[in-house]
C-alpha cells in the first residue's frame, strides 16, 4: 500500500537511501534537507511522487512549512522518519557548552520540532507512524561520545514516552537503534572533531580521531538494507516500538540489558527497603 513518507536529512547518507527505497517501492516521498536543490539532485531530479522542500530541523517554522507543503501536495502524511542529525565527537571537558547545546538542539529538539509539526495532521487522520533514528549510543554510553550519547539517550526517553501520548489516536512510534552503518555520520560534513585542548586527553583524542576516520566507509552495516528494513516496519500492523538494527547493536543492547539486571540485583540489599519508613524504629 502506497504511503506518504516524510524523511528528514534526505540529502545524503541514510536519508538518501530511505528516500530512494521509498520511491522505488511506490511511495510518495517528501524529502527534506537544508539544501533542497542538493536533495533533488541527489535523488535524480523531479519526480511525480517526490516533493523536495527545505527543512532545517532546528527551526520549528521550517518544520511547520514542510508539513503543510506535504499536505498541500499529497493530502496527508502517513509516516515521519526523523533521520537528520550530526555528531560532536570528543571527551566531555573538550566539548564546549555551546557545542553540547548544539548537539542536543539538532539531535533531540530537531526531531521534536518536526514531530510537533506533523502530529496534528496525524491526529486529524487518526493514523500515522513516527520513526526516529536513535543509536546504539542511545542505549550504551561510549568513550568519546558523551555529547552524542546525551542527545540520543534523550531521544530514547522522549520516544518511549511519546508512544503513550499518541497511541489512543492510532499513531505508532518506533525508535531505531543502529550500530555501525555506512551512513556518512563520520564524514566531516556530519562530524565535528575536537581539537586537543587539555594535555591529559591529547594523546587519546588524537588516536581516537585517527581510528574513527579510518573506519568511515568500512562499517559493516549496509544503509540500503537498513532503509528497506525501516520501510518494512511501516507496513506492519503493529510496528516494532524499538528496532535494534545490526548484529553489533543487538549484541550491545543484550549486554546492557544483562548489566542493568545485574545492577538491579546488586542494588537490592542497599536500596530495596528505601520505601519503608524507619522513623519509628
Cα-Cα-Cα-Cα torsion 111, 115, 116, 118, nearest 10 degrees, comes to 150
Among candidate residues 91, 148, 164, 201, the one labeled active-site is 148
Annotation marks residue 148 as catalytic: yes
Looking at the DSSP assignment, which residues form a beta bridge with residue 232? Answer: none
Question: Which grid coordinates are listed for 74?
Answer: 499529497
Q: What are the residue numbers of the active site?
A: 148
Amino acid at each position: 500500500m502506497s504511503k506518504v513518507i516524510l524523511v528528514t536529512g534526505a540529502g545524503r547518507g541514510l536519508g538518501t537511501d530511505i528516500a530512494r527505497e521509498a520511491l522505488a517501492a511506490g511511495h510518495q516521498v517528501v524529502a527534506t534537507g537544508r539544501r533542497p536543490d542538493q536533495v533533488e539532485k541527489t535523488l535524480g531530479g523531479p519526480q511525480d511522487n517526490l516533493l523536495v522542500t527545505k527543512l532545517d530541523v532546528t527551526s520549528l517554522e521550517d518544520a511547520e512549512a514542510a508539513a503543510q507543503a506535504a499536505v498541500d501536495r499529497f493530502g496527508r502524511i502517513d509516516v515521519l522518519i526523523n533521520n537528520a542529525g550530526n555528531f560532536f565527537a570528543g571527551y566531555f571537558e573538550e566539548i564546549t557548552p555551546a557545542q553540547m547545546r548544539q548537539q542536543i538542539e539538532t539531535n533531540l529538539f530537531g526531531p521534536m520540532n518536526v514531530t510537533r509539526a506533523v502530529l496534528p495532521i496525524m491526529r486529524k487522520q487518526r493514523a500515522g507512524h513516527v520513526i526516529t533514528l536513535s543509536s546504539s549510543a542511545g542505549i550504551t554510553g561510549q568513550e568519546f561520545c558523551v555529547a552524542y550519547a546525551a542527545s540520543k539517550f534523550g531521544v530514547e526517553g522522549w520516544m518511549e514516552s511519546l508512544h503513550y501520548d499518541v497511541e489512543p489516536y492510532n499513531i505508532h512510534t518506533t525508535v531505531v537503534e543502529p550500530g555501525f552503518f555506512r551512513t556518512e555520520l563520520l564524514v566531516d560534513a556530519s562530524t565535528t572533531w575536537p581539537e586537543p585542548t587539555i594535555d591529559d586527553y591529547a594523546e587519546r583524542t588524537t588516536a581516537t580521531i585517527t581510528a574513527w576516520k579510518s573506519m568511515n566507509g568500512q562499517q559493516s552495516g549496509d544503509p540500503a538494507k537498513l532503509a528497506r528494513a525501516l520501510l518494512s516496519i511501516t507496513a506492519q500492523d503493529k510496528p516494532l516500538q524499538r528496532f535494534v538494527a545490526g548484529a553489533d547493536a543487538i549484541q550491545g543492547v543484550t549486554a546492557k540489558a544483562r548489566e542493568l539486571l545485574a545492577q538491579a540485583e546488586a542494588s537490592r540489599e542497599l536500596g530495596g527497603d528505601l520505601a519503608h519508613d524507619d522513623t519509628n524504629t
